Amino acid sequence: MSKPTAIQTPPESTPAALKRLFERANAEQAAGNARQAELSCREILALDDAHFGAWHLLGIIALRAGDAVSAVSSIERAVALAPGRADCRSSLGFALTALGRREDAEAAFRKAIELDSSSFESHFQLGNFRMERGRFAEAETCYRRALALVPAHAQTHNNLGLALGQQRRLEEAAGHFRRAAEIWPGYAEAHANLGHTLRLARRPQDAEEACRRALAAAPGMFVAQFNRGLALQDLGRLDEALACFRGANTADPNYPMAVASEAVLHLLRGNFAEGWPKYEARWRIGDLPPRHFSQPQWRGEPLAGRTILLYAEQGFGDAIQFLRYVPLVIARGGQVVLEVHAPLVPLAARIPGIKLVARGESLPAFDLQCALLSLPLAFGTKLDGIPANVPYLSPMPERVDHWAARIGQVPGVKVGIAWAGRSTHRNDHNRSIPLDRLKPLFEPAGARFFSLQVGAAARELAAIEPSAIDDLSGELIDFAETAAAIANLDLVICVDTAVAHLAGALGRPVWVLLPFPPDWRWLLGRGDSPWYPSMRLFRQRQGGDWAAVLGSVRQALAERVGARPGTAM
């Protein structure tokens, strides 16, 4: 006769019993016993398949284990069972983010906030999504709402600082980075971000100190090392800056910004042999999307009849500066196709022996290619061998005649001015000068001023005496027209912008007002430029000090026109 089996008592499934099971599951999860918590959840679901809390917790356990697919499946079940629960929607947002479904995740966080406006994590994560999309003002709003709920959250302060920094509200940004570091003194990223922001605010000494604090918290933080290098460069401590760039590259060999910055520092010091090869790293820093050609890059070898594409890659001034190499390429025995942006086409068309293409037009067949700013590498250019056969550009004679009739008969020294570059340039806040700061230049008698400024900055003329400056901007439709106007001027005074390069390439007298530190092409400490024999440089001695520069320019202009300078700035 067989032995009788024991009678199995089914688990109790009353609401109170399920509550006790769920509390146990949560306690197991909190204690780090994910496997036991999962078993407890499944025990609950065996008794009540509609227990949204168990589905939700199962999803959280799966998400923390790296199984985003299972997490989304479980949390979506919880959401279906409890559509009014904000915490389930927020967890779904995290799971969808892990799965790469970012638009769906963003929608989940929005819904969580709609259900419960006190959902801190949802506000914070929605801010992160806004930042990713470049919607910085909206991100700011999200982070401020998150901080209203949890005022001492270091990462939210840090991210709010990033959103404000992107809006150029640098002092506000710095305040939030400081607050993040106060809450969490070892928060290296906040210290590094503070350093970057203070540098942009022209406070390099404070920036360097903030970067040192970041490195004290995280010695291998290559971004902080890099930002410290930039601050040291701004302070003129170039050897230390170079060591920082090299240290950042050692810490992360895949960090091209450090290599490109080292290259720029070498070029600034006239060390072209090391600078040009490293300058090729510029293609990998994100500012310049590389052109993907199947044809190889030209390295300076004889062309032997082959066709080479030369193309402009950066701003108008860069293109103008390096068009000097086009005749040298032609001399290597090939056919040259030159691609430039449309405003440069009429000017570049004056270069003989090329086939000209506007950027965006179809390219003809070619065998080799080279960006204009890679030509110094191809030719092995050294400081004492810069090709400066100036002028290497020329205006159209008929347009020169037109401008001669327009301004050629005006009495006095005819001076063209331009005070602002492209606003999207990363250093424009340092290189451009508000027009009203230039008023002292207009005081010496015997000079007549003509505005060569185009774009939004030309509107600043409305605040200047109508008789002080003759505005030419309405007729300067491209660089060929500007070149023809410059040909009829005695002098051009401008900041570091395309007008400076154009006047220099035409061989016309040009005075350039440079910030500190200057762009690499102007080198250090000299009042002339080996790139442009007709150029004179007026340099800041310290960052932001335009008053001394303008005083020197006014004195030089007064001497030029034979007038006695005034005394007031």
Would you state the pLDDT for residue 43?
86
Query: What pTM does this model have?
Result: 0.82
Q: What CA–CA distance (Å, rounded) separates 163 from 322?
A: 37
Q: Does 542 reside within a domain?
A: yes
Residue 520 has pLDDT above 80, yes or no: yes
Would you state the pLDDT for residue 1?
35
Q: What CA–CA distance (Å, rounded) separates 560 from 553?
A: 10
Q: What does the block give as tokens for 366?
A: 């070619």
Give the mean model confidence (pLDDT) for residues 102-118: 93
Dihedral, CA of residue 24, residue 30, residue 32 and residue 35, to nearest 10:
40
Query: Is there a single domain that holds both residue 319 and residue 246?
Result: no
Q: What CA–CA distance (Å, rounded) separates 125 from 142?
A: 8
Whole-angstrom CA distances from 44 to 25, 55, 67, 78 are 9, 9, 21, 14
Number of H helices and number of E strands within the chain? 25, 11
Query: Is there a single domain that holds both residue 356 and residue 441?
Result: no
Residue 568 has pLDDT above 90, yes or no: no
Query: Is there a single domain that holds both residue 417 and residue 508?
Result: yes
Q: What CA–CA distance (Å, rounded) separates 489 from 486?
A: 5
Q: Does 473 reside within a domain?
A: yes
Query: Is there a single domain that holds both residue 479 and residue 511?
Result: yes
Indicate the length of the chain as a whole number: 569
Q: What CA–CA distance (Å, rounded) separates 424 from 405?
A: 35
Find the domain containing 458 and state its range: 397-561
Q: Does 173 reside within a domain?
A: no
Q: What CA–CA distance (Å, rounded) separates 272 from 348?
A: 27
Would you state the pLDDT for residue 7?
36
- For residue 448, give the 3-state DSSP assignment: strand
- For residue 451, give the 3-state DSSP assignment: strand
Final residue of a domain: which of 229, 256, 289?
289
Instruction: Name the phi and psi angles at 164, rounded to 5.
Output: -70, -40
Q: Does 200 reside within a domain?
A: no
Whole-angstrom CA distances from 64 to 61, 123, 427 are 5, 21, 43
Query: Is there a single domain that holds both residue 315 and residue 356?
Result: yes
Q: Please give the distance of CA 404 from its chain centroid, rounded to a whole number.
A: 41
Looking up residue 268, the CATH number of its domain turns out to be 1.25.40.10
Give the mean model confidence (pLDDT) for residues 349-359: 96
Q: Does 104 reside within a domain?
A: no
- Return the minimum-mean-pLDDT range out of 9-13, 454-458, 529-533: 9-13
Query: Is there a single domain that holds both residue 381 and residue 481?
Result: no
Q: How many CA within 13 A on the CB side of residue 560?
A: 21
pLDDT tens column, 154-199: 999 999 999 999 999 999 999 999 999 999 999 999 999 999 999 9
Cis peptide before 391 (omega within 30 of 0): yes
Q: Does 144 reside within a domain?
A: no
Query: Is there a single domain that holds both residue 374 and residue 415?
Result: no
Dihedral, CA of residue 184, residue 188, residue 191 and residue 192, to nearest 10:
-160
pLDDT tens column, 388-419: 999 999 999 999 999 999 898 888 999 999 99
Cα angle 441-442-446, degrees, rounded to a multiple of 5: 110
The residue type of 449 is F
- Name the packing angle between helices 222-234 and 204-217 (round to 10°): 160
> Which residue, chain included where needed, has tokens 């799966």?
62
Q: Into how many domains does the chain fold?
A: 3
Query: Is there a single domain that holds both residue 355 and residue 380?
Result: yes
Among 139, 203, 199, 202, smallest CA distance to 166 is for 139
Q: What CA–CA distance (Å, rounded) separates 556 from 517?
A: 22
Top pLDDT among 487 and 29 is at 487
Among 291, 288, 376, smallest CA distance to 329 is for 376
Would you state the pLDDT for residue 466?
63
The residue type of 523 is L
pLDDT tens column, 206-243: 999 999 999 999 999 999 999 999 999 999 999 999 99
pLDDT tens column, 369-386: 999 999 999 999 999 999
Q: What CA–CA distance (Å, rounded) separates 85 from 115?
A: 7
Query: Is there a single domain that holds both residue 324 and residue 281?
Result: no
Give the mean model confidence (pLDDT) for residues 535-563: 91
Residue 243: partners with Cβ closer than 8 Å, 6 or more residues away: 229
Instruction: Name the phi and psi angles at 513, rounded to 5.
Output: -95, 115
Query: Is there a single domain that holds both residue 418 and residue 556?
Result: yes
Q: What CA–CA distance (Å, rounded) separates 176 from 444?
A: 47
Would you state the pLDDT for residue 564?
44
- For residue 452, give the 3-state DSSP assignment: coil
Q: What is the CA radius of gyration of the chain?
A: 32
Residue 61 has pLDDT above 50, yes or no: yes
Query: Is there a single domain that holds both residue 241 and residue 373?
Result: no
Final residue of a domain: which of 289, 316, 341?
289
Looking up residue 470, the CATH number of its domain turns out to be 3.40.50.2000
Helix (H) or strand (E) holding 514: strand 510-514
Q: What CA–CA distance (Å, rounded) separates 458 from 223?
A: 38
What residues are paired with 539 via a beta bridge?
Answer: 514
Whole-angstrom CA distances from 417 to 300, 400, 439 are 38, 18, 12
Beta strands 528-529 and 532-539, pairing class: antiparallel
- Return the minimum-mean-pLDDT range out of 12-26, 106-120, 232-246, 468-482: 12-26
Query: Is there a single domain that holds both residue 373 and residue 462?
Result: no
Would you state the pLDDT for residue 247?
93
Whole-angstrom CA distances from 187 to 121, 140, 161, 193, 366 are 20, 21, 14, 10, 52
pLDDT tens column, 269-280: 999 999 999 999
Strand order in the sheet with 469-471: 469-471, 447-451, 413-418, 491-495, 510-514, 532-539, 528-529
